[in-house]
Amino acid sequence: QLQLVESGGGLVQPGGSLRLSCAFSGFTLDDYSIAWFRQAPGKEHEKVSCINSMKSGSMGGSANYAGSVKGRFTLSKDNAKDTVYLQMDKLKPEDTAVYYCAADYFCSDYDDMGYWGKGTLVTVSA
């Protein structure tokens, strides 16, 4: 039973920082990739970042980022805690969204990620 639970969302001022957590169970990052998606009001799901499973060939264990967050967001993992994190710095109002973590064998688009958390709301506003 694969499960993911996000936490850490909240209200933050522009330029501020926030760290989201995704606690997972029922799998390991050896076999599964975990992605962060976000959905802003009235917008489609956007993939923010993803960490490849260790079995993803030469890219195993590496993370990638959307251009809109590259240089500001950092994905990391703590294998001992079965948790991945999304450190968000220099936040902008346009980062406001519900943030989800999702898992599947590969880092994929929204429609191809099989397992999802319920999301956590991040609001960036003065």
Predicted confidence band of residue 74 (pLDDT cuts 50, 70, 90): very high
- Torsional sign, CA 90, 94, 100, 105: negative
Q: Return the structure tokens found at 8.
A: 């850490």
44: CB partners within 8 A, 6+ apart: 110
How confident is the prediction for the chain on average, in pLDDT? Answer: 97
Enumerate the β-bridge partners of residue 89.
none
Q: Are 87 and 108 within 8 A, CB to CB?
A: no
For residue 42, the model assigns a pLDDT of 95
Give tens-digit pLDDT for 21-70: 999 999 999 999 999 999 999 999 999 999 999 998 888 999 999 999 99
18: CB partners within 8 A, 6+ apart: 8, 9, 10, 12, 88, 91, 122
Cα–Cα distances in Å, from 22 out to 108, 120, 125? 18, 10, 23
Residue range 106-125: average pLDDT? Answer: 97
Cα–Cα distances in Å, from 95 out to 38, 39, 42? 9, 9, 13
